[in-house]
Structure 1
Amino acid sequence: MNAPKTLLLGFFCLVAACATGKGGRASSIVMEPMFIGAEPDERLGLAEFDAATLLRKGLERQQRNDCRGALPYYERLLVQFPESRYLSAAALNAGVCAEQTGNDEGAVRYYSLITERLTHSKDYVLAAFRQAGCLRRLGKTELAERVLAAMLDREALEVPDRIEALLERADCLVELGKPYDAERWFMRALVLFRRNQRQLYLEPALGARALFGLGMLAEQR
C-alpha cells in the first residue's frame, strides 16, 4: 500500500533550554514546528522542513542572485509558519526578491507584513523605506506618505533614519502637489541635520537634499 502524500505536522525541540536551573538542567523548552511529508515537495525539493531550513535555503539562492528560486522558500515559510521567529527575515528578503524580479505589488505585500503586523521587528525601518519606494513607483504616493508618516511617529527612530524619512515624506508631498507641507518637512530635516551633523558624523548628502528641496520649492513660487 502506498503511503499517503498528506503533510503531517510534528513538533521537534530545536532549542533545548532558554534558562537553566540547579545542576544545569533545562527549566524551559522552546518547541519549533516541523513538517514531514511522505514525498518531497515539488517546488521545494524537501520532504521535511522547518522555518530555519526554509530561510536558509532561500538565502542560499538569493545570494546566488536566484531570486525566483528563493521566493518559494520564503513564501512557504510565511504561510506554513506564521508564528516563527524567522517570519520578519523571510518577509523582508521576499520583498527584496520581489523587487528584483520587477514585482513591486508583491514586494509591498511582503513589506506590509512587517510594517503592519511585526512593528517591533528590527527590520521595520528598512521594510518601511522599501515599501514606500515601491508604492511611489506604483503611483501610490499617498499610501507611501502614510507609511513614512507612521515611521516618523516612532520615538525610537534613529536620527539618520528620521532625517531620511523626513526627506522622503517631503518628496511625496511635492508629488502630491502640496508644496507648503513639503517645505515644512524639508526644513525639519535640515534643522535636525544641522543639530546633529558633527556629533553623529552625518552624511553631508542628507543636508544637501534638504537644501535642494527647499531651493526647488522657492524657484517654483
Structure 2
Amino acid sequence: MSVRRWWWVAALGLAVTGCRTTGSAARDGQGTPPKQELQFDPVTVTADLELDKLNDEELFAGGTSAFAANDFKQAARYFGRLADFHPDSRHRRAALYNAGLSHQRLKEWEEAEHRFSELADPEKGQGDALDAAFRVAESRYHLERYDEAVKLLGTIAAREDLPVNRRLEAQVQQGVCQLEAGRGEEAEKTLRKSLATYEALADKDEVDDYFPAQAHFFVGEIYRLHYEGVKLDPAKGSDKLAEDLNYKAELLLSAQGHYLRSIRVGNGYWATAAGAQIGALYENLYEHMVNSPAPAELNAEEAQVYRQELRKKIRVLITKSINIYERTLETAERIGSQSAFVDRTRASLEKMKALLLADAEGEPAPDPAAADGEPHS
C-alpha cells in the first residue's frame, strides 16, 4: 500500500486583524513634525514560519516521517503546507489524499471531506480519484449528511466500467447510509440487490468477503429495528400480548437469520459483530419479558401461573444468550478480533451468567439440551 493512503495536513493559520502606527510627538513651536496616524485595512496572514523554509520534497518527507510515528497533527502541518503552498509539486495529489486520510484518523470529518473532495471523481475517476470519492462518502456519513453520501455512492455503484468488487462496495455502503437516514425500505432493497449480485457470481473470490457480510449484517439490523418497534403492553389484554410477543419473536428470528448468514460468509469482523447482536436480541427479549407485568384481567392465581410459565421461557432465553455469547467470543479469540463488539459481548456474557446463577438458586435449571437448540435461520 502506498504511503499516500495514510496521511493528512492542514496549514497553520496566524490571523492578524489590523495594524496601526502613531507618531511620537505633536507639533510645537520648534518645527517638530505633527502626529501622524496610518490606518491599514484588516488582513489575514496564513503562515507557518517553521515550515516556510522547506521545499515540497522536504515537506513530503517530514509528513511521511510524522505519520509513521502516529503523530497525525504534526504530519498534518507538513502535508497541509505542501498541498496549500506548492500547487505544482509532483507530491501534491498524494499530499491531499494523505491529508484527508489523516484527518479521518483524527476523526476530523469536515477537514477530511474538504481534502478528499478536491481529488474525488465519482463519475469517471480511477485510482486516487475513485478512492477519494469513497472517502468523501465516508466523511459525509460521519457528518450525518446521509443523503449526500447516498447520492455519491449511487453514482459509483451504477458505473459499469468498475470491477464488481468496487460496485458492490459502493452499493452496500449506500444501503447503510439509507438506513441511517431513516429510509429502511430503500436500504433493504439496496442491500438485497447487492447480495443478489454477490450470489450470482461464479467466482465469489472476485469480491472481498467484508462487503456481503456487511450487507447481511445490516439487513439483520433492519429487522432488529422492526423488532424493537414492537412494544409489549399487558394493559391491552392477554390475547393482544400473546399476539405481539409472537410477532416480536418472529422478527427476532428474521434478524437472527440474516446475522447468521453474515457469520457464514466468513469475515471475522462481521462474524463477531453478528454474534454479538444475536446474543443481544435474546438478552433484550429477556428484559422485556421479565419487566412486563401480568395482564390485568388475570386473577391472583392465574397471574402466579403466568409468572411461572414466563420464568421458564425467560431461563431458556438466558441460556441461549449465554451460548451465543460464548461462541462469539471463541470465534473472536480464534481470529484475533478486537472490537467494541467483543468488549460488549464479554460484559454481556458475565451479566447473563450472573442472572442464570441467581435464577438457579430459586429453582432447578431447565434441561440444557432443551435450551441449547441451534438458532433458527
Q: What is the aligned-residue RMSD (CA, Å)?
A: 2.8
**Closer, same or farther in 2 for the Cα pair 1:146/1:53, shift >3 Å?**
farther
In the alignment, is residue 183 of structure 1 matched against residue 165 of structure 2? no
Deviations 1:44-102 (A, max 9, x none): 2x62513x432222111111111111112211222223344422211111012212233
Amino acid of the structure 2 residue aligned with 1:49: N
Which moves more between the two structures, 136-145 or 203-212? 203-212
Which structure dedicates a bigger proportion of its chain to strand? 1
User: Residues 144-155 of structure 1: matches in 2 within 5 Å?
Assistant: 144-155=149-160
Larger helix percent: 2
Match of 1:193 in 2: 198
Which residue does the alignment assign to 2:212?
Answer: 207
| CA shift for structure 1 position 134 | 2.0
The alpha-carbon deviation at position 112 of structure 1 amounts to 0.7
Structure 1 stretches lacking a partner, 5+ long:
1-40
Partner of 1:158: 163
1:42 aligns with 2:42: no
Q: Deviations over 1:145-179 (max 9, x none)?
A: 12212322433322222111111100111122222
On the 8 A contact 2:121/2:130 being kept in 1, the answer is no
Contact 1:186 1:214 survives alignment (8 Å): yes
Which SS does the other structure have where 1:196 is aligned? coil
Match of 1:87 among 77, 92, 114: 92
CA contact (8 A) 1:193 1:206 kept: no
Q: Does residue 101 in structure 1 map to residue 109 in structure 2? A: no
Moved more, 203-212 or 137-146: 203-212
In 2, Cα distance between equivalents of 1:181 and 1:152: 15
Quick one: distance in 1 between partners of 2:123 and 2:213?
A: 33
* TM-score normalised by structure 2 residue count: 0.42
Of the candidates 71, 75, 78, which is equivalent to residue 73 of structure 1?
78
Kindly name which structure, 1 or 2, has the bigger radius of gyration based on alpha carbons. Answer: 2
Q: How many percent identity over aligned positions? A: 27
Name which of 63, 76, 85 aligns with 1:58: 63
The one-letter amino acid of 1:123's match is D
**CA distance in 2 between partners of 1:197 and 1:80 (Å):** 50
**Aligned pairs, how many?**
179
Aligned 8 A contact 2:140 2:146 in 1: yes
Aligned counterpart in structure 2 of residue 129 of structure 1, from 116, 124, 134: 134
* Aligned equivalents of 1:126, 1:149: Cα separation in 2: 15
Relative to structure 1, is the Cα distance of residues 121 and 59 closer, same or farther in structure 2, using a 3 angstrom cutoff? farther
Maintained 8 Å contact 1:74/1:90: yes
Using the alignment, how far apart are the partners of 2:163 and 2:219 within structure 1?
23
- SS across alignment from 2:55: strand
State the one-letter code of the partner of 2:214: R
Measure how far apart 1:216 and its partner are: 4.2
* TM-score, with structure 1 as normaliser: 0.69
Whole-Å separation in 1 of the counterparts to 2:123 and 2:129? 7
| Residue identity in the other structure for 1:169 | Q
| Number of the residue aligned with 1:5 | none
C-alpha deviations, 1:28-55, integer Å up to 9, x for none?
Answer: xxxxxxxxxxxxx6232x62513x4322
Query: Is the CA contact 2:164–2:206 (under 8 Å) kept in the aligned structure 1?
Result: no
> Does structure 2 conserve the Cα–Cα contact (< 8 Å) formed by 1:115 and 1:128?
yes
Separation in structure 2 between the aligned mates of residue 161 and residue 121 of structure 1, nearest angstrom: 11
Query: What is the CA–CA distance in structure 2 between the aligned matches of 1:150 and 1:43, rounded to whole Å?
Result: 42
Structure 2 unmatched runs, 5+: 1-47, 227-250, 252-377
Aligned to 1:113: 118
Q: Quote the Cα distance in structure 2 between the aligned partners of 1:124 and 1:138.
A: 21
Contact 2:122 2:156 in 1 (8 A): no
Q: Secondary structure at the match of 2:49?
A: coil
